[in-house]
Amino acid sequence: MCAHPRSPHCCRAPRARRWIIDGQSPSGTVYVLNGPNLNLLGTREPETYGHATLSDVEKLCRGTAEDFGLRADCRQSNREGELIDFIHEAKAKSAAGIVINGGGYSHTSIAIHDALVAVKIPAVEVHISNVYARESFRHHSYIARAAMASISGFGIDGYRLAIIGLASKLGIKIKA
């Protein structure tokens, strides 16, 4: 019976979806994957990407994940195949989710799309800049089609928003 019609304990209140990956509950790890040229953050086109470094991104991700009792495993590669290997590893280790900024591979890599589809792990695509305010070739993303959500244009805060969104979809609340 309902405690109150507007109570979160109401029988009609939406229930958080818990993800199950091939019959296994996910671990408490979120893989944060960064693609080509993101190792140059802070120095590469600061008018587009800002002055924050990849180290700043990783610190932000780790802190945000900890707020939810999760662990952020941050990786960067300029090689497509290595990013795919990271995605496969996320499945092998029953990761709770993936946050991915595929960089230029977002717009070209069917292989990364296929890897994300194959592993069936909830993923959020992140772009630091607003890709829709840039060149038209950046308006299409293969990764977006495999992700449950895409975030662009919030600077490095997009990573924080992605982790918060993943935690929400996984039914994980912020630690007290």
Instruction: Examine the residue annotation and report whether 105 is marked as an active-site residue of this protein.
Output: no
Out of 31, 49, 105, 159, pick the active-site residue. Answer: 49
Number of H helices, E strands in the chain: 6, 5
Instruction: Examine the residue annotation and report whether 127 is marked as an active-site residue of this protein.
Output: yes
CA distance 33 to 126: 10
CA distance 18 to 167: 10
The C-alpha R_g of the chain, in whole angstroms, comes to 17
CA atoms within 13 A on the CB side of 156: 21
Residue 29 CB neighbour total at 10 angstroms = 18
Out of 31, 105, 127, 159, pick the active-site residue. Answer: 127
Residues known to be catalytic: 49, 127
